[in-house]
Structure 1
Amino acid sequence: MPSRSQYALMSTKDKNTVLFISSISAVVFFDFLIYLYIADIVSAAFFPIDTDPNVAKLQGLGLFVVGYLARPFGGILFGRYGDIIGRKPTLLFSILVTACSLLAMAALPTYAQWGVIAPILFILLRIIQGMAFGLYVPLSWVFVAEHVPRQYLSVACSYVTASFLVGVLFSNAFFMWLSSFMTSVQLADYGWRLPFLVAAVLSFLPLAFWRLVGETPFFLALDKPKLGKAARQPLTMLFKRCKHSIFVGMVLTLVISSVTSVIVLLLPDLIELNFTLDSDLFGFSHSLGIVFMIIGCIFYGMISNHENFGKILVIGSTLLIAQILAFFYHLQAGGDYILIMYALLGFCSGIVGMVPAILVQLFPTNVRLTGIAFCYNITYGVVGVLIPFGLGYATTLISFSPALYIVFIGFIGIIMGMYFYNLPEFKKIDHVVT
Structure 2
Amino acid sequence: MPSRSQYALMSSKDRNTVLFICFSSAVAFFDFLIYLYLSDIVAANFFPANINPAMTKMQGLGLFVIGYLARPVGGIIFGRYGDIKGRKPMLLFSILVTAASLLAMACLPTYAQWGLMAPVLFIVLRLIQGMAFGVYVPLAWVFVAEHVPRQYLSVGCSYVTASFYVGVLFSNAFFLWLSNSMSTGQLADYGWRIPFFIAAILSLLPLLTWRWIEESPFFIEMKNVKPSEYVIKPFTLLFKHCKHSLFIGMVLTLIVSSITTVIVLLLPDLIELQFNLNNDLFGFSHSLGVVFMIFGCVFYGIISNHQNFGKILTIGSILLIAQMLSFFYHLQSGADYILIMYALLGFCAGIVGMIPAIIVQLFPTNVRLTGMAFCYNVAYGIVGVLVPFGLGYATLYVSFSPALYIAFIGFIGIIMGIYFYNLPEFKKIDHVI
Q: Quick check: TM above 0.5?
A: yes
After superposition, the C-alpha distances for 1:334-376 in whole angstroms (9 at most, x for unaligned) are 0000000000000000000000001100000000000000000
In the alignment, residue 120 of structure 1 is paired with which amino acid?
A: V
Question: For residue 425 of structure 1, what is the aligned residue in structure 2?
Answer: 425
Cα deviation digits, residues 163-193 of structure 1 (max 9, x gap): 0000011111111110011110000000000
Q: How does 1:301-340 map to 2 (within 5 A)?
A: 301-340=301-340
Residues 65 and 322 of structure 1, relative CA distance in 2, 3 Å threshold: same
Letter paired with 1:360: V
**1:83-94 counterparts in 2 under 5 A?**
83-94=83-94
Letter in 1 for 2:141: W
Is residue 2:261 matched to residue 1:261? yes
| Correspondences of 1:24-39 after superposition (within 5 Å) | 24-39=24-39
Residue 169, structure 1, aligned to residue 169, structure 2: yes
Task: State whether structure 2 residue 209 is matched by structure 1 residue 205.
Answer: no
Question: What secondary structure does 2:354 align onto?
Answer: helix
Which deviates more from structure 2 when the two are superposed, residues 217-226 or residues 417-426? Answer: 217-226
Runs of 4+ with deviation above 6 angstroms: 227-230
The CA distance in 2 between the partners of 1:109 and 1:51, in whole Å, is: 20
Q: 1:4 to 1:190 in 2, by over 3 A?
A: closer
| Deviation per residue, 1:368-401 (Å, 9 max, x gap) | 0000000000000000000000000010110000
1:121-160, aligned counterparts within 5 Å?
Answer: 121-160=121-160
CA distance in 1, matches of 2:216, 2:295: 27
Change (3 A) 1:229 1:329: farther
SS of residue paired to 1:232: coil
AA of the residue aligned to 2:417: G
Mark the CA change 1:96 to 1:328 in structure 2 (over 3 Å): closer, same or farther. same
Which residue pairs with 2:279 in the alignment? Answer: 279
Amino acid at match of 2:185: V
1:75 matched residue in structure 2: 75
Q: Is the 8 A contact 1:224 1:231 kept in 2?
A: no
Deviation at 1:35, TM superposition (A): 1.5
Aligned residue type for 1:257: S
1:61 corresponds in structure 2 to 61
Q: In the alignment, residue 344 of structure 1 is paired with which amino acid?
A: L
Alpha carbons 2:296, 2:347 under 8 Å: kept = yes
Gaps (5+ residues) in structure 2?
none
The number of equivalent residue pairs is: 432
The amino acid of 1:138's aligned partner reads: P
**Residues 230 and 237, structure 1, Cα contact 8 Å, conserved in 2:** no
Give the conservation status (yes or no) of the 8 Å contact 1:83–1:231. no
- Name the TM-score, length of structure 2 as normaliser: 0.98
Counterpart Cα distance in 2 of 1:47 and 1:410: 40
Which residue pairs with 1:359 in the alignment?
Answer: 359
Q: Alpha-carbon deviation of 1:110?
A: 0.2
Identity %: 76
CA distance in 2, matches of 1:405, 1:317: 13
- The answer to whether residue 374 in structure 2 is matched with residue 389 in structure 1 is no
Cα distance change of structure 1 residues 4 and 114 upon mapping to structure 2, 3 Å threshold: closer
Residue identity in the other structure for 1:79? G
Equivalent pair of 1:106/1:194 in contact (CA under 8 Å): yes
Query: Shift of the alpha carbon at 1:226?
Result: 3.3
Q: Shift in Å at residue 424 of structure 1?
A: 1.1
SS of equivalent residue, structure 2 residue 6: helix
Q: Which amino acid aligns with 1:431?
A: H
SS at match of 1:6: coil
For 1:65 and 1:230, locate their aligned partners in 2 and report how far apart those are by CA, in whole Å.
40
Cα offset for 1:225? 7.0
CA contact (8 A) 1:103 1:197 kept: yes
Equivalents in 1 of 2:354, 2:52: separation in Å?
A: 45
Give the Cα separation in 1 of the matches to 2:209 and 2:111: 38
Distance 1:227 1:343, change over 3 A: farther
Cα deviations across residues 388-423 of structure 1 (Å, max 9, x unaligned)?
Answer: 000000101100000000000000000000000001
Deviations 1:17-76 (Å, cap 9, x if unpaired)? 001100000000000001110110010100111121000000000000000000000000
Task: Give the unaligned 5+ runs of structure 1.
Answer: none
